[in-house]
Every structure is written in C-alpha cells, then in structure tokens.
Chains A and B, each alone.
Chain A
Amino acid sequence: MRPGADGTPPRSEVIELPVDCTLRHIGALKQQLCAVADDVQNITLDLRRLERFDTATLQLIAAFARDHVARGANLLTCGNRPSWDEAAELLGLSATLAGRT
C-alpha cells in the first residue's frame, strides 16, 4: 500500500549532497542515502553545495534512484549543475538519474 493513498500526506525528504562526494567520502554518502525510508514519496537531491564528485558518486546515485523509482517514488533534483548533467550524459546515466527507467 502506497503511503498517501489512505489520506495521510505523502512523505517528502530532501537529501543534501555534501561538497565532496568523491570516492573517499562515498561511504558517508551511502549511509545518508540508505537512511531514506522506503515510504518516502518525494525525494529531492539537493546538488547546490556539491562541488566534487566522480563516477562512483553517479553510480551510487543511479543505484539509489533506480531503487526508489522502482517502488514508485518521485525523484527530483534541486540546483543547476551543468557539470553533473554533463557527467551523467557521458556515463550514459542521464535517464536513470532523472528517474526515468
């Protein structure tokens, strides 16, 4: 049963990506992502502070996005990061990261 269907307001959560999400800090990011419960309906990735990331970052976010989209959550991003979009495009992960499967 999807949360919200019984009249309670859908849960939302904003995940703020830290400044450095590269390989050395990827464990912390994973913990942050794993803390998001499976009944959160609207997940927003806040990329505004993010400065450094690499393929490992995008891979992790892709897995996260895929998991949550598969159970029907909405995935949004906040903050305009051309470099993020460019990297996603280069890695062939644009669709997954945008929540399209």
Chain B
Amino acid sequence: MTIDLTQFHDAFFDESFEALDSMEAALLQLDAGRPDPELINTIFRAAHSIKGGSSTFGFAETASFTHSLETLLGELRDRRLSVTHTISDLLLRSVDVLRNMLGAAKAGRPIEMQSVADLQFDIELVIVQRDTGVAASPSPVTTRTAPGAAPMAGTAAMLPAPRTVEWHIELRPGPEFFARGTDPVRIFRELAVLGTLQVTADLATLPGCRDMAPEWCYLNWSLRLLTDAPETAIREVFEWVNADCSLTVSAVSSPPAAGECAAAATPAPAAAPWSSHGAAVAHSATASAAAATPQEPGSIRVGVEKIDELINIVGELVITHAMLSQISRGVSGPAADGLRSGMQQLDRNMRQLQESVMRVRMLPISVVFSRFPRMVRDLAQRLEKQVELKISGETTELDKTVLEKIGDPLVHLVRNCVDHGIEKPQARTAAGKKAVGTVHLNASHRGGSIVIEIRDDGRGLDHERIVAKARSLGLVGANEILSAEQAQELIFVPGFSTTEVTTDVSGRGVGMDVVRNNIADLNGKIEVHSEPGRGARFVITLPLTLAIVDGLSLAVGDQTYIVPMTSTIESLRLTPNQVTSIADGREVFGFRDEYLPIVRLYKTFGLQPRARALHDGLVVVVEGAGRRIGLFVDDLLSQQQVVIKSLETNYGRVPGISAATILGDGSVALILDVADLIRIASRREAA
C-alpha cells in the first residue's frame, strides 16, 4: 500500500508561499545595524520549513537552494555573521527566487536555473568568506547554545535569571504527518538544542512491517525536556508543524520562581486598596504567579478541514434553530412565553456562534493587498508612469476561500488602472493634474458584505471610444443610444478591450468579463463608476462567507426557491400595459431606462404555477454577469439567511441552480444561479 504524495503538494505550496510572505515581511523590518534576533529566527524558520517540504516532495533544486540559504541564516542567527545591506539584499532576492521556483514547481514549469545558480553562488561566497575570515565577524560565538541558555551580552542584565523547568511534551501525529512535510527527527533535534531531551516512542499503534503503509506515521512520542528556555521557545520549534497532529506542552514541575513570586506578592497587599478581602489577595497572588511564567497569547495552526467541519455543524444548528422557531410560533399554553423568550435567547447565541466560527476562517485582506506595492512600482517603471499606491482598510477580514479567489481579479483591476487609467506624466501635467497619479485600494465592511474599491485619478473611461468600439464589434446597433451607465457596462462584455495597442501588461482577450465572472462565482458583484478626465472607480461587493448566503425566498407552484440578495435589484407587480410581447411569445418590460426580458420561472423549471397572468404574480428584477432579467414568480415569501448545501455531492450540476439549502421545516429549497438562468434565457432567445 502506498499513498500518492502529490495530494499534499497544494498544502505544501500554500504553506511555503505563506512562509515566504512572512519571510519577506520580516526582512523588510530587519534593521541592518541592530538586527532583531526574533526576526532572524522567523526568517530562519520559514526557510527551514520550505527546505523540509521541498526535500520531502522531491523538489531538489528548491531544497538545495534553501539549504544554502538556511546555512547563511544560521550564521546570522548565531551571530557569526552580521546583517549587512549586501546580505539583506541577498535575502530579499532569495525570497523572489524561491517564489519563482515554487511557482514553477507548482505549475509544473521548468525552473529558470541561471538566476538561482547565480544567487546561490553569491550566498555561498558570503559563507565561505566568513569561514576564511575575509568578512569580519562581530562576535566570535562558536558554541551552539540555546538563545535562552546564554542570553546575548547586553541583554543579560535585563532578563531575570532563567530557571530550569521540566517540560512534558506529547506529540500524536496523524497518519499524513510525514507526507505533509514534517519530519519529527528534525523537530526533536531542534528541541535538543534547548536543553536535555529524553524521547520515548510509543510503538503500540505501529503495525507489523508487512501491514503498514510506510508513508504513514504510526508512532506517537512523549518527550521530557529539561530547559531554561521559555515555553514560547519550545512552541516555536513546533510552529511550522502541520495541523495533522495533536500536541500538548506542559510543565511537569511548577516553576519554583513562580511560587516565590506568589509568596512575595502576599505580604504586600497593603498596596492594593481592596486588600481587606481575602479573595482579592489570593487573586492578586495568582495573577502575579501567572505573570511570572511568560504566557504566549497563543495561536495554533488548525487545518482548514477542521474549521469547515465546525462551520458545517453550525450550519446544521442554524437549520435546527429555524425549525424550532417555526414550531415555537405555533405553540400556545402556559409554557409558550417561556419557550419564546428561550428561543430569542437561542437566536442571539446562534448568531454570535455563527459569527465567531465564521471569523475563524477569516483573514485580513492585507494578505492580498501586500503584493500590490511592488507590482505597481514595477509596472509604473515599465510604463514610464509615476504612480502612488494608497492602501486603506487592509485589516478588513474576509473568508479564506473568498480571499484566495479575489486575488487574480484584483491584480487585473489594479493593472488596468495603472496601464489604462493613469496617464503619462506629461499628459497629466498638460491636463492640469499632478504628475504623479494615484491608485487607491480600500476595503471595508458594509452590512453583511465586504466592499473593495479600486479608484484611480486617471483619464476615466472614454464613453465615446467604448461605444464606437462596441459598434465596430457589432455589440451595439448603429443607431442605438446608450446611457453612460450602459456604455460603462460594455467593458464587461466578453472580448471587449479598448486599448488599440495591446500591451503586455493588461494582456489581450482575458479581460473584465473574466473579472466579473470570477466575482459572480463568489456571489459578489462589480460596478464601475467613471468620470471622464477625473478617474474611474471599481466597486466590488462580496459576501462575508461562502457558507451562508442572504437570500430572498420565492414561491413557484408548490416549490420554494432562494435567490441571493446580492443578485436582486427590485421586485414589482406589472400591469398588462407595461409588458410588450415581441416575437414568438417573448415578453419584455420597461425597467428604469432599459427593456428587460421576462423569464417565467415555472416554464423554465416545468412547474404548475399558481399565477400565470403577470398581474397575479410578481416580477423580481435580478442581475447576473452584468445583465438583468425579470423573473416571474408566484410570490415573495421572506428574506432569510440560508446555509449553502452542495447538490453535486450526491447528484450533479443542475442548470440554473447553484446549490440547495434546508428550510426551517426541514424541506429542501434550491438556490438560483442567476447568471446561469440569464445565460439559458439568452440562448433560448438566440435559438
């Protein structure tokens, strides 16, 4: 029995790119004169984890390169080399090179080895020069000791004398522990550096040689570590350990100094105004005892699948709750009031729980925004433009999956701003503007949504040119008059691009239509606002999460459908004179300044409706992929949050339907895929 290691590649790449980001961030903070040992440690660990994973998965070039890098970082960490500008430059270049290498490995492209080899040579040269004494080493520390065991000169006086504590560490890896790139022997080796380590392997779950999958990890370990290093130092060793394990770290002997500290706190209660209370005294004593042992505020790496499981369970709770509250409305009698107030309480708790669980999956958008400063700088240079990038709201958090999928559309939009929006400096000054153009990225929460705004002060969208181009492409009739809003919408039409000269920056073909589709896939939408000569503003609205959607429930016959709120514009009751029947039974109605086709949902889905005459039912104006239609339904039921359930797990894709959900009474309702419905409707028109 063997397992396919490639299934773990994605996780490896994710973690490696994450590690590179933290490496880059730490490098940018690194002060050449007085490097913070903590930052060097962070960089070292990042390189170390990439090296480990690379060799596990057989990316030999990456492993070899990170080995050299790690050696250099080891020299810096152990202060045999000092951080110079040359070295910090080498390290920054290493981040770029590693990104390229991993990117190539991920895409299965060959690695461009020349730059790798050059850089590796430079790195090794620095190390060799250190060995031969060419570069002066500031502190001739040669013994490899734990940072906690031998505090650096100068800081020693500040720190309390370290105490030796016995730690008990239990490591219970999951079966895929090795395959995900963690090698316990490397971890234990690092632990051994901290002090005296004694390891006991538990072979109880190790099967016979013939029965085992040798790639799986069957062993569990319990370790005893005698060290004066703080708990944080121990936990750090496990920092890059993947989520597929359970880890406990506990002090066996309570630190004696903490006890002393507690004792010392007791005779001094006079200082505390509320000392007359025995409880308060005891409390302050334990508080200082706790303060004596450095407590990490703590973060743990948790597998996304564990979080998703939590979210699923919360989803189930939301459904059960909806069911209970539906039942409780029909209850009468003496217990009814109590039941209802209990339900209200439960309702509040549910919402809090839901929010907290969702928040676990959320990451700040800075993860995506952080790539733009460099991108904009490089782009501006190449295009001979002067561009200032302003970023705000980068701490706004959104769902990890949304975050992963929004990166590419944002890159495209920012590129567009720099390439098409911002003018060259001469043109700007000629137009009476500052030579330096501005691109502003902003993220914020608005209600239950995330709004991302990309704004530039460039030339704006040229309506006339857009319309002219659309006419030449046959997208707009020769005599058709378009509003400004309609003209702007044209940029989202597939294949539309206004630049006559295709640049290698904004590419060709793949354009705003792809951006819009990607955003629609996330149940979001994008709008453009532009003022000629003053700039353009793209506004993306995204749901906070992909697991739950705000929906409007619609009745058609005996069925209930959900349409996402982000797709709905308005609902109206049409009178017969508002509707125009055109060829082969198609109907349109005037809405704002355009004519929208009516799609009778009962016809699309083959149902028996309650309302066949338009004035008996309602028309819901919905929007998807930049187009609007009027959905004719029997009635609107309510607006509610629904938990998204896949139809494809057990069945398959259904045209016009994106997913399903479970209603309060336990029945299933289908969620409409508005963009798909519009596509189906337009194909029918074409047929």
- Do A and B pair up? The answer is yes
**7 contacting pairs across A/B (C-beta < 8 A):** A26-B215, A30-B214, A55-B219, A63-B212, A63-B218, A66-B203, A67-B210
B207 contacts the other chain (Cβ, under 8 Å)? yes
A17 contacts the other chain (Cβ, under 8 Å)? no
Please state if A60 and B209 are interface contacts (CB–CB under 8 Å). Answer: yes
Please state if B189 and A90 are interface contacts (CB–CB under 8 Å). Answer: yes
8 Å CB contact of A60 from B2, B185, B188, B212: B212
CA distance A99 to B301 in the complex (A): 37
Top 8 nearest A-B pairs (CB, nearest first) are: A92-B199, A92-B201, A64-B209, A26-B214, A90-B188, A63-B209, A27-B2, A30-B214
CA distance A33 to B214 in the complex (A): 11
A14 contacts the other chain (Cβ, under 8 Å)? no
B388 contacts the other chain (Cβ, under 8 Å)? no
> Residues of B with Cβ closer than 8 Å to A?
2, 5, 55-58, 178-179, 183-185, 188-189, 192, 197, 199-201, 203, 206-210, 212, 214-215, 217-219, 221
**Chain A, interface SS category:** helix
8 Å CB contact of A54 from B183, B199, B206, B207: B183
Residues of A within 8 A of B210 (CB): 34, 67
Chain A positions 48 through 78: 1 when the CB is less than 8 Å from some CB of chain B, otherwise 0: 0000001110111011101100000000000
Residues of A within 8 A of B178 (CB): 23, 54-56
CA distance A29 to B215 in the complex (A): 11
A98 contacts the other chain (Cβ, under 8 Å)? no
The answer to whether A23 and B203 touch (CB under 8 A), given A30-B214, A59-B219, A91-B184, is: no
Tell me the smallest distance from the CB of A57 to a CB of chain B, in Å.
9
Please state if A23 and B206 are interface contacts (CB–CB under 8 Å). Answer: no
Q: A55-B185, A62-B219, A92-B199 are in contact. List 9 more A-B contacts (CB 8 A).
A: A26-B215, A59-B214, A60-B209, A60-B214, A67-B208, A67-B210, A90-B199, A92-B200, A92-B201
8 Å CB contact of A23 from B56, B184, B199, B209: B56
Please state if B209 and A96 are interface contacts (CB–CB under 8 Å). Answer: no
Residues of A within 8 A of B214 (CB): 26-27, 29-30, 56, 59-60
Please state if B209 and A91 are interface contacts (CB–CB under 8 Å). Answer: no
A22 contacts the other chain (Cβ, under 8 Å)? yes
Residue in chain A with minimal CB distance to B3:
A27
8 Å CB contact of B183 from A55, A64, A89, A96: A55
Please state if B203 and A62 are interface contacts (CB–CB under 8 Å). Answer: yes
Residues of B within 8 A of A92 (CB): 199-201, 221
A87 contacts the other chain (Cβ, under 8 Å)? yes
Residues of B within 8 A of A67 (CB): 208-210
Please state if A55 and B209 are interface contacts (CB–CB under 8 Å). Answer: no
A40 contacts the other chain (Cβ, under 8 Å)? no
Tell me the smallest distance from the CB of B511 to a CB of chain A, in Å.
42
Q: Which of B2, B197, B212, B214 has the most CB of A within 10 A?
A: B214
> Residues of A with Cβ closer than 8 Å to B?
22-24, 26-27, 29-30, 33-34, 54-56, 58-60, 62-64, 66-67, 87, 89-93, 96
Please state if A91 and B183 are interface contacts (CB–CB under 8 Å). Answer: no
Residues of B within 8 A of A62 (CB): 201, 203, 206, 219
CA distance A57 to B199 in the complex (A): 18
Residues of A within 8 A of B185 (CB): 54-55, 58, 87, 90-91
Residues of A within 8 A of B215 (CB): 23, 26-27, 56
Tell me the smallest distance from the CB of A89 to a CB of chain B, in Å.
8
Please state if A56 and B221 are interface contacts (CB–CB under 8 Å). Answer: no
Please state if A63 and B207 are interface contacts (CB–CB under 8 Å). Answer: yes
Tell me the smallest distance from the CB of B4 to a CB of chain A, in Å.
11
Residues of A within 8 A of B184 (CB): 55, 91
Residues of A within 8 A of B203 (CB): 62-63, 66, 96
Please state if B200 and A90 are interface contacts (CB–CB under 8 Å). Answer: no
Tell me the smallest distance from the CB of B63 to a CB of chain A, in Å.
11
Please state if B218 and A59 are interface contacts (CB–CB under 8 Å). Answer: yes
Please state if B201 and A91 are interface contacts (CB–CB under 8 Å). Answer: yes
CA distance A11 to B206 in the complex (A): 27
Residues of A within 8 A of B57 (CB): 24
CA distance A87 to B212 in the complex (A): 21
CA distance A37 to B315 in the complex (A): 54
Residues of B within 8 A of A96 (CB): 201, 203
CA distance A71 to B210 in the complex (A): 14
Tell me the smallest distance from the CB of B109 to a CB of chain A, in Å.
21
Residue in chain B with minimal CB distance to A70:
B208
Tell me the smallest distance from the CB of B196 to a CB of chain A, in Å.
13
CA distance A63 to B214 in the complex (A): 10
The answer to whether A22 and B189 touch (CB under 8 A), given A30-B209, A91-B221, is: no
CA distance A67 to B212 in the complex (A): 12
CA distance A26 to B210 in the complex (A): 13
Residues of B within 8 A of A30 (CB): 209, 212, 214
CA distance A56 to B3 in the complex (A): 13
Residue in chain A with minimal CB distance to B210:
A34
CA distance A67 to B207 in the complex (A): 9
Residues of B within 8 A of A23 (CB): 5, 56, 178-179, 215
Residue in chain A with minimal CB distance to B206:
A63
Residues of A within 8 A of B212 (CB): 30, 60, 63
Tell me the smallest distance from the CB of A81 to a CB of chain B, in Å.
13
The answer to whether A24 and B58 touch (CB under 8 A), given A54-B178, A56-B178, is: yes
Residue in chain B with minimal CB distance to A93:
B201
Residue in chain B with minimal CB distance to A61:
B209
Residue in chain A with minimal CB distance to B178:
A56
CA distance A96 to B206 in the complex (A): 12
Please state if B208 and A63 are interface contacts (CB–CB under 8 Å). Answer: yes
